[in-house]
Structures are given as structure tokens and as C-alpha cells.
Amino acid sequence: MSQLRVAGIVPESVVDGPGFRYAIFTQGCRHNCPGCQNPQTHDFEGGYVVDTDDLFAEMMEDPLIKGMTFSGGDPFEQPVPLAELAARAHAAGKDIVTYTGYTYEQLLAKAQHEPAVMDLLRETDVLIDGPFILAQRNLELKFRGSDNQRVIDVRQSLASGEVVTFEFE
Ligand code: SF4
């Protein structure tokens, strides 16, 4: 059982990654991207606290769910409960998409002094990284907001030591 501070939950989302997804919007973000669509998620004292057991149980009640999405806020501000939750979801055959305002390279650096960051990276199948940049906003991008944001195959990237990206179909 772990506690997670969230801004909200969308139990059946089709806009936060491929397939039907149990989307968790974490509370707390320090990136302050101009043009952010969710400024109410920035305050680290805002939102509400949930038990990750309850989130997992709710997801498992819905047979249509392909996987979990962690968005925000920035999920990498709460890597400990999210890595645990992602591991349980993987064990149940679900995949994990994680959004972050940090770049992949920044997360690797952060993981040097915060091991849970690597735990969450290892439990992430697809990482959509980098801040939202208003000047690079592109409404045609699938599941992301601006051209600088990459869709990263984390497993291949960690294995190869290079950033492996792809496009959602
Ligand atoms: S990382 Fe996301 S939630 Fe945070 S300020 Fe940027 S767009 Fe907003």
C-alpha cells in the first residue's frame, strides 16, 4: 500500500496513449511551461491523496484496459509509489506510458542520486519526455503537445545506451 498525490483519474481514457488506458494525473510539477493546460496540477500541496491499491483494483475491474498512463503534474516527482504501481500493472499484463516534463537525459542524471527514478524508468514502456513548448505546439501530434517531445522506447533505450524513439501509428 502506497500513497500517491493526484490531481485526478480518468478510468477509461483514449487520449493518453494507445488503447483504453487507466490514466492517473499526478499532482505537483515544477516545470512551469508557458501555455500549460493544467496549471492546477502544479501545487505540491494541491489535489488529493489516494491509495495505490485502490487505483490498481479499479483498473483491474475493467477488462478493456490495455495499460496505465501516468501524466501530470510530473509523475517523476513521485517515483516511489508509481514504480511500485507500474510493477504490479506489468505483472497483470498491462503496459505503462509515462509523461514527464523532464527530458530522458535529465531523468538519467536525476536517477544518479534518486534510485526510484530509475525504478520508474525501468517500469515504463513508453516515455513521452520534455516540457510543453508553446512555440513548438503541434495539434497534429498524436498523444503529445509539442514537437520537442519525444516518444521513447525506454527498454530499448536503456539496453542500447542511445535514445530510441518512434511515432505512434
Ligand atoms: S510539465 Fe506538463 S504539467 Fe508541468 S508545467 Fe509543463 S505542461 Fe504543465
Looking at this protein, which amino acid is placed at residue 9?
Answer: I
Fold of 3-160: TIM Barrel (3.20.20)
> How far, in Å, from the CA of 88 to the mean position of ligand 1?
26
Query: What residues are paired with 70 via a beta bridge?
Result: 24, 98
pLDDT in tens, 88-113: 999 999 999 999 999 999 999 999 99
> How far, in Å, from the CA of 167 to the mean position of ligand 1?
21
pLDDT in tens, 59-92: 999 999 999 999 999 999 999 999 999 999 999 9
* Nearest CA residue ID for atom 3, ligand 1: 73
Our mutation pick for probing the ligand 1 site, out of 30, 38, 76, counting the most ligand atoms within 8 A of Cβ, is 38
Q: How many CB atoms lie within 10 A of CB 95?
A: 18
Length of the chain: 169
Element (H, E) at 160: helix 154-160
Ligand 1 site, residue 3, Cβ cutoff 6 A? no
- The pLDDT confidence band at residue 1, using thresholds 50, 70 and 90, is confident
